[in-house]
Amino acid sequence: MADVTDVLRQTDLLGSVPDADLEALAQASRVRTFRRGQLVCGTGDPGDTLIVVISGRVKIMVRSADGGELMLAAIGPGGTLGEVSIADGGPRSADVEALEDSQLLLVPRERVQRICERVPSAGQALARSIAATLRRLTDATGDLVFLDLPRRVAKVLLSQPRDADGVIRPALTQAQFANQAAGTRQSVNAAMRGFERRGWIVVDGRTVTVLQPESLARFAGA
């Protein structure tokens, strides 16, 4: 269980918890593997675990009745999700789907709750995580109301991890870009072509290189 204990130790939520508690938590947890596109959990499912991403990436999304999809966030290795259910015991408030083949650690909610009640630093970390989620959702709501699609696309581009050369890695598909920007693939592609004409980005297949992040940030009002 040493590897699972290390995974827990590297999270923002549980990094300050004493080793003995982490080892007990690791023994109570289970590792599951999900294929790309596989649903991890759905809206309304019991929020009975904290989910820790060991490898791969998952997306948090909400769906409309007619099948429309809005991507709220992408979580990579070391990231956690399910903190709201840890705090209030309620069901899942969004769908979680594997963006790529992923290995996830499922930690029992009751165990995490008890640790957060007993270890002040863990309780504070839980509060910070929930506050960060609220801020992210507030920003996203404001973007949907006040920003046009090209500016939302610019913010999505800036939010993606990039290497030293400006290449977004791992690459998002056109559908994933569209979901996160709350637009259609055609409209997102049109916005990307506009950025490319201005020399702000270069698109080569699925590979997107951000050449002028400052210009994108000014355009998006970031």
The predicted structure's pLDDT at residue 2: 46
Q: What is the pTM of this model?
A: 0.80
Assigned CATH class of 148-220: mainly alpha
The predicted structure's pLDDT at residue 222: 67
Nearest in space to 170 (alpha carbons), one of 205, 206, 219, 117: 206
Length of the chain: 222
Domain boundaries, the chain: 2-144, 148-220
Angle formed by the axes of helices 109-118 and 19-28, to 10°? 170
The predicted structure's pLDDT at residue 182: 87
Nearest in space to 1 (alpha carbons), one of 29, 31, 26, 33: 26
Digit-coded pLDDT (tens) for 44-63: 999 999 999 999 999 999 98
Q: How far apart are CA 101 and CA 3, in angstroms?
A: 19
The predicted structure's pLDDT at residue 176: 82
| Per-residue model confidence as pLDDT tens for the chain (222 residues) | 448 999 999 999 999 999 999 999 999 999 999 999 999 999 999 999 999 999 999 999 998 887 778 888 889 999 999 999 999 999 999 999 999 999 999 999 999 999 999 999 999 999 999 999 899 888 888 888 889 999 999 999 998 889 999 999 877 788 888 888 888 899 999 999 999 999 999 999 889 999 999 999 999 986
Q: Span 2-144: which CATH code?
A: 2.60.120.10
Token pair listed for 66: 């007619």
At a CB cut-off of 8 Å and minimum separation 6, what does 215 contact? 198, 200
Digit-coded pLDDT (tens) for 168-190: 987 778 888 888 888 889 999 99
